[in-house]
Each structure stands twice: as C-alpha cells, then as structure tokens.
Amino acid sequence: MSDTRPIGVFDSGLGGLTVVKALQKLLPSESIVYFGDTARVPYGNKSKELIIEYSNEITNFLIKNDAKLIVVACNTASALALDTLKKNVSVPVLGVINPGAREATKATLNKHIGIIGTVATVNSGAYENAICDIDKSIIISAQACPLFVPLAEEGWLEGDVVEKIAAHYLTPFNEKEIDTLILGCTHYPLLKNVITNQVDEKTILIDSAEAVAREVHVQLSIFDLLNNSGQKGLLTCYVTDIPMRFETVGKRFLGSSLDNVQTVHEV
C-alpha cells in the first residue's frame, strides 16, 4: 500500500527548511506541507505557554491539510511542546530532540557532549534529559547562542563579526573537552563553518535535521505510511507573514528554489 498524503513539518520560521532538505534527500517521493510561523518568530525567547499554544494551532492546521505524520522541526517547540502535541493528535508526532540526542550519544567517545540552542531550548533541559535517558554517565555542557538565529536569517554566515560572536559562545567548550556538539537549533547548520572554526577540530557536529529524517523514515515504515509511488513529492509552504522574504531567504536553507508559498492569516 502507498500513502500519498503529505508529511506535515513546522517551524517558528524558515529554519525548519533544513529539515525539509534532509527529508527530500532521504524520502524523495514524500510530499511535504510546511508551515513557517514567520509572523511570530522567534520562539526561542518566548514562554512555554505561548510556544505550546502556537504549536497546537499549527499542528491542527497541518492535520486539516491531511498530514499523515507531523515533524516538529523547531528545536524550541520540540523541547517545550512535543509532549502536549503527542497527547492531542491522532497521527505520529516527531520532534528533533530525541533523534539528535541519540546521534550524539552514539558519536561521543569520551562521553562529553556539548549542546547549543536558543535560550528556551537550553533552559528547558530537554536535550540533557534525552541524553540522560540513554546514558546517565555522559557529561553535558550547554550554551544558548541567541545571536546565531538573526545572523543566519540575515545571511551573515562568515567574516570577522560572526567569528567573534561564535568564539564568545563556543570557546568555553574547549576547556570542557567535549568531543561532540549538538547543533540544537534549526538555523545552526548554516553556521557550520564558523562553528567548526571555533571548536576543537576533532569535535563531531550533530545536525538534528539528518537524524530526524532517518527517524521519520523508520516511523513511516512502522505505521505503513510510506509513499511508494516512485514519483517526486511536492512541497507546499504556508507562512503567517511576508512570503517574498520566506522565498528568498528560504532558498539558502533549502538549497533550492521555493515556489508555492501561501500566506495564512488565521491559524
């Protein structure tokens, strides 16, 4: 049996397109309906209550649009709203925290893992809890990097200013002797080069986007939801504000052009 319904993916904005890119690479036949809450981004400095409220609204919207599985591509929403969403909806819901934590625990050799993310993600302790559930002996250091999101959004991906900001956030990790660093935010894979320059050269960077795509594959197989048509899937995007900017900046995140972007005024 082949299930042609789309996978629903959402993020606070356009950063979640890094997850869409990983999904398209791994599961090219799957159609995707993407929701970017561009009117209310960033989520990373908002309260848990508000993040849950927005995430519930968006999940309902995706279900109305026939999503067969929901991916919470936003690390902040995954950290704070995933448990609530799982209780509220009847389709499988996946976040990015557990797949990222699993990859990191597999990768670390010296059992020292670093985590970077938004203020809300780091304060939630969600990655620490997920890692601890797998291996209690792992030592974890976490650092919020709030300026990385605007830098990525503006396309400031290299140069002196960005290196200095990255050094400010990341050099303390070198004293902690981490060998693995989780990029716990949708936007950070775009800053991979700068991040690599500031940490020990042997540090393994964990990109949750690729890890979550593999997990989606597993879940679709388990629930018999795979699209086996062999045809290329469609990407449809909904945003809550300014589709033009979403299209131009989104290209950088997705690695290909974006059309079919529609604005939703009422979620």
Name the site residues for ligand DGL (rule: CB under 6 A): 11-13, 15, 41-44, 74-76, 118, 121, 149, 185-187
| Amino acid code (one letter) for 210 | E
Single-letter amino acid code for the residue at 38: T
CB of residue 6 vs ligand DGL: minimum separation in angstroms? 20
145 a catalytic residue: no
Catalytic, out of 132, 145, 185, 237: 185
How many CA atoms does the CB half-sphere of 135 hold within 13 Å?
17
**CB-nearer residue toward ligand DGL: 173 or 188:** 188
Tokens of 43: 């989520």
DSSP code per residue over 82-123: HHHHHHH-SS-EE-SHHHHHHHHHHH-SSSEEEEEE-HHHHH
- For residue 79, give the 3-state DSSP assignment: helix
- End-to-end alpha carbon distance in the chain: 32
CB atoms within 10 A of CB 143: 17
Q: How far is the CB of 248 from ligand DGL (least distance, A)?
A: 18
Please state, in angstroms and rounded to a whole number, the distance separating the CA atoms of residues 188 and 143.
Answer: 13
Q: Which two tokens stand for residue 93?
A: 């819901």
Indicate the residue among 31 and 75 with the shorter CB distance to ligand DGL: 75
Place of tokens 């979640």: 16
- Which residue number, 78 or 227, has a Cβ lying nearer to ligand DGL? 78
74 among known catalytic residues: yes
Residue whose beta carbon is closest to ligand DGL: 44
| CB 245, min distance to ligand DGL, A | 15
Q: Quick one: 5 exposed, middle or buried, by C-beta within 10 A (0-12, 13-18, 19+)?
A: middle
Min separation Cβ 159 and ligand DGL, Å:
21
Q: Which of 74, 132, 145, 237 is catalytic?
A: 74
Catalytic residues: 74, 185
